[in-house]
Amino acid sequence: MTHQPLTRAATSSSLRFDAVDALRGLAMVWMTFFHFSFDLNQFGYIKQDFYHAPLWTWQRTLIVSLFLFCAGLGQAIAVAQGQRWPRFWRRWAQILGCALLVTVGSWWMFPQSYIYFGVLHGMALMLIIARLTARWGGRLWWLGACAIAIQLIASYALQTEATAQLAEMLNSPQLNWLGLITRKPITEDYVPLLPWLGVMWWGEAAGTWLTRHGAALSWRLPAAFKPLAMLGRWSLSYYMLHQPVLLGGLMAVGWLAK
C-alpha cells in the first residue's frame, strides 16, 4: 500500500495534524511549568538559580528546541500544502507584533534585563530564512548541523587574544543577535540566530520527510492527548497570555495572604 505525499496537488486546503499540534501543545505545558516555577522564585516561594543551575538551564534549552523544531515542522507542512506568501506574512506579522509586546512588557518588569531578542524575536527572523529554504529537502539536515557547529566553533575561536577585538564587536547589542558571542548578554530571554536556526532547519527537514509520507502525519492521536492538540492550535495566543495570568494569580495570592 502506498501513501500519497502531502503536496499542493493532494490537498485543496490547509489541514491540521493532531500529532503535530500535540507536540506543540506539549512544549506549551512544559513552558508553563518552567515559567510558573520561575515566577514562584521571583515571589520568594522557592529558592532556585534559574540562570545557572543545570536543572533549569537544560530545561530551557529543551523547551526552546521543541518550540523551534515545531516551527520548522509547521513551515514545511505549510509549504507542502501550498501556503502563499501573503498568508505567511500575516502570521509573521502576528509573531513580530507579539515579540514587540514582549519587549515592552519585559522592560516594564525587568528594565535592566529586558528581552530584546527572545524566542519570538528569533522566530520571526528564522521563519523568513526557513521559508526561503523550505524546498531544500535533505540538505536542511546538514545546514542545521552546520549552524550549530559554527556557533560552537566560534565560541572557542573568539576567546583568543588575536580575536579579542572581533569578539567585542560580536558581543555588542548590535550584533549579538547572531549568536557568535563569548559572553551571554544580560537579558531575561535570549534566542539568537545561531545555533537555534539549526534546530528550526532540523524541524523543517523532518517536516519535509513527513509530508512525503502522508500516513506519518495522519497518526491517530489517543484521546488523552487531544487537549494538547487543542492547546497547540492556539500556541501564540496562549504564549502571550499565560505569563500575565500566572503573575496575576500569584499577586492575588500574595494580596490575600496579607
What's residue 11's pLDDT?
43
pLDDT digits (tens, 9 = 90+) for 202-246: 999 999 999 887 666 777 888 889 999 999 999 999 999 999 999
Using DSSP's 3-state secondary structure scheme, residue 221 falls into coil
Residue 115 phi/psi, 5-degree rounding, is -90, 115
Mean pLDDT within 72-89: 94
d(CA 201, CA 207): 10
Domain positions in the chain: 18-246
Q: What is the pLDDT of residue 216?
A: 65
φ, ψ of residue 156 in degrees (nearest 5): -90, -45
- The pLDDT value recorded for residue 6 is 57
* pLDDT (average), residues 113-137: 95
The three cell numbers of residue 166 are: 572581533
Using DSSP's 3-state secondary structure scheme, residue 175 falls into coil
DSSP state of 113: S
Question: Cα separation of 16 and 78, whole Å?
Answer: 10
Kindly compute the dihedral angle of the four CA atoms of residues 90, 92, 94, 98, in this order, to the nearest 10 degrees: -170
* pLDDT confidence tier of residue 10, bands split at 50, 70 and 90: very low
Q: Taking 90 as the threshold, does the pLDDT of residue 36 lie above it?
A: yes
Is the pLDDT at 16 greater than 50, yes or no? yes
Which among 232, 255, 186 is positioned nearest to 26, based on CA atoms? 232
Which stretch of 58-62, 75-79, 157-161, 180-184 has the lowest confidence by average pLDDT?
157-161
Phi-psi sector, 168: left (phi>0), alpha (psi -120 to 50), beta = alpha
Q: What's the pTM value of the predicted model, to 2 decimals? A: 0.91
pLDDT-derived band at 14 (thresholds 50, 70, 90) equals low
Instruction: Kindly report, residue by residue over 140-188, the tens digit of the pLDDT.
Output: 999 999 999 999 999 889 988 888 899 999 999 999 999 999 999 999 9
Does the pLDDT at position 4 exceed 70?
no
| Residue 30 amino acid letter | W
- Give me the mean pLDDT over the 35-59 stretch: 94
pLDDT score, position 219: 78
Mean pLDDT confidence for 98-126: 95
β-sheet bridge partners, residue 117: 190
The whole-chain average pLDDT of the chain stands at 91
